[in-house]
Amino acid sequence: MKHFLSTGHLSLSQIEELLDAAMAFKANRRVTNELAGRSVALVFLNPSLRTRASMQIAVYELGGNPVLIEPGSTSWSIEYQDGVVMDGGKTEHIAEFVRVLSRYVSAIGVRTFAELKDWAHERTDPVLSAFAKYATVPVINLESAMHHPCQAMADMLTIRERFVPEKKRVLLTWAWHPKALPMAVPNSFALAAAQSGHDITIANPEGYDLDDELISQVQRCAESAGGSCRTVTEPEIAFEEADVVYAKSWAPAAFYGQPDAAHASELRDQWMVTADRMARTANGIFMHCLPVRRNVIVTDEVLDSPNSLVIDEAENRLHVQKAILASLFK
């Protein structure tokens, strides 16, 4: 089965092929017929603006029919555990949910965030894996506990549009946030940037490292693509000569299972992306997956500057997702 769960399953040439296709869709935006006669289920277990709107429009513009499903809201709540006695609040087991959908649609997109309860369990992407296990049609990851590959592909397209296919110094920098957030976006961004051969710096406070195995995978991918990966804990060093600044907050593994865990308030100013920090870069571009907290993650001055590409990045979600969807039915 041809699922799209992480860019880690793709070769560099497959990534480049998808980016080429996305650029072609962007250059000639119209309704085509790659998904003619097909429906695609879009299962959202969590909120979304960009992913939901861009996926619905992507399916429509490829000539298909998007079917939006919100378990626990406008459709039944889902039980994931095997062998469980279902006498609680959950109505339908995932074994039936996914197999029934597979009889109706040609692909299933699913958004299922980390719950930040049990890192060892959630890092295995249990819900996404269950969708992939039971589906008899392709599954597309619309952000899971560990990965957000559609976002990462849009990020790579945004970098490529700005710099043509060229190796760049890419900074992934942690930012303070009032809430603990999952690691899917930084994981997928670091992985896709490494696969693309960029020189990556991952900057975060001590104790906030991304997953060890993920970092090892990023380092392996960077080296084999001719790039590099380093980690630093000092924001001032991190910004030096960067071509790309990608800001994102995430909670470290130690926060999982700790509902009251909060980022120390002194980290807020130390890690915000400011004009002074951007001035240390090589006229670097600013990127963020959105939604972003203004003057918490990044100042208005940076976010509203000509070097901020966040709106292009969000637009590119549509074009890369059209390329991904079309590739599943070639």
Considering the rule CB under 6 A, would residue 48 count as an interface residue with ligand CP?
yes
Name residues contacting ligand CP, limited to 128-147 (CB under 6 A): 143
From 29-37, 43-51, 70-78, 296-304, give the range in contact with ligand CP by CB under 6 A.
Answer: 43-51
Considering the rule CB under 6 A, would residue 195 count as an interface residue with ligand CP?
no
Choosing from 5, 21, 42, 51, the residue that interacts with ligand CP (CB under 6 A) is: 51
Considering the rule CB under 6 A, would residue 158 count as an interface residue with ligand CP?
no
**Distance (Å, rounded) from C-alpha 40 to C-alpha 235?**
42
Q: Are 59 and 65 in contact (CB under 8 A)?
A: yes
Length in residues, the chain = 330
Choosing from 72, 290, 295, 304, the residue that interacts with ligand CP (CB under 6 A) is: 290
- Name which of 147 and 169 has its Cβ closer to ligand CP: 147
From 99-107, 171-179, 237-245, 285-293, give the range in contact with ligand CP by CB under 6 A.
Answer: 285-293
Sheet holding 285-287, edge to edge: 228-232, 199-203, 169-174, 244-248, 285-287
Question: Helix, strand, coil % (nearest 5) of the chain?
Answer: 40, 15, 45
Considering the rule CB under 6 A, would residue 320 count as an interface residue with ligand CP?
no
Considering the rule CB under 6 A, would residue 179 count as an interface residue with ligand CP?
no
Considering the rule CB under 6 A, would residue 50 count as an interface residue with ligand CP?
yes
- Phi and psi at residue 240, to the nearest 5°: -55, 120
Choosing from 106, 151, 158, 188, the residue that interacts with ligand CP (CB under 6 A) is: 151
- Name which of 222 and 325 has its Cβ closer to ligand CP: 325
- Name which of 204 and 321 has its Cβ closer to ligand CP: 321
| Three-class SS state of 230 | strand
Could you tell me which residues come within 8 angstroms of residue 128 by beta carbon, excluding any fewer than 6 positions away?
5, 110, 112, 139, 141, 144, 145
**Residue 311's closest CA among 281, 287, 283, 294?**
287
The site for ligand CP (CB under 6 A) is made up of: 48-51, 143, 151, 289-291
